């Protein structure tokens, strides 16, 4: 746990990620996250569907060359149909941005959610 950094995410965005994950289940879903980073706080303001959606192929297959050159992308959100709220080695190896938001089956609200930095340390999540 790295309690010094708080990630705030609007309720609507959480809802969209959970819905997206439910829709794609049992495949994996992925979104890009747009927002701002501050010294002790990361604020997510928007979710973006990756260009040339690679839904269902797993997080690791998201091709970097297809990423928008957009420095407001500060992280990703993806689902774990397995129900695990732990990051995999692939997740960390392919981490993009500063934040990895994870939703796990059964995608049931805040308990199905975890947020990490790219070192794999769990961050504090604040729903706004």
- Write each residue from 40 to 79 as x if it is in contact with Zn ion (CB under 5 A), else as -, in one continuous string: -------------------x--------------------
CA dist list (Å): 112 to 36, 54, 68, 115 = 24, 22, 28, 11
Q: How far is the CB of 112 from Zn ion (least distance, A)?
A: 14
CA dist list (Å): 118 to 9, 55, 109, 110, 115 = 17, 21, 23, 21, 10
* Minimum CB distance to Zn ion smaller for 31 or for 59: 59
Output the CA angle 37-51-118, nearest 5 degrees: 35
* Residue in 91, 95, 96, 103 binding Zn ion, rule: CB under 5 A: 91
- Which pair of structure tokens corresponds to residue 67? 């990423």
* Minimum CB distance to Zn ion smaller for 10 or for 58: 58
Q: How far is the CB of 2 from Zn ion (least distance, A)?
A: 19
* Minimum CB distance to Zn ion smaller for 42 or for 114: 114
The residue range among 19-27, 48-56, 91-99, 116-124 that interacts with Zn ion, by the rule CB under 5 A, is 91-99
Residues found near Zn ion in the complex (CB under 5 A): 59, 88, 91
């Amino acid at each position: 746990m790295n309690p010094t950094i708080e990630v705030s995410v609007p309720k609507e965005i959480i809802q969209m990620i959970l819905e997206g994950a439910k829709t794609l289940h049992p495949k994996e879903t992925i979104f890009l996250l747009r927002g701002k980073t501050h010294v002790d706080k990361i604020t997510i303001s928007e979710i973006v569907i990756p260009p040339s959606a690679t839904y269902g192929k797993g997080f690791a297959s998201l091709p970097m060359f297809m990423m928008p050159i957009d420095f407001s992308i500060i992280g990703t959100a993806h689902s774990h149909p397995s129900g695990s709220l732990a990051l995999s080695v692939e997740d960390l190896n392919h981490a993009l941005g500063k934040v990895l938001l994870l939703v796990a089956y059964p995608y049931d609200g805040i308990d199905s959610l975890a947020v990490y930095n790219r070192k794999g340390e769990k961050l504090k999540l604040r729903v706004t």
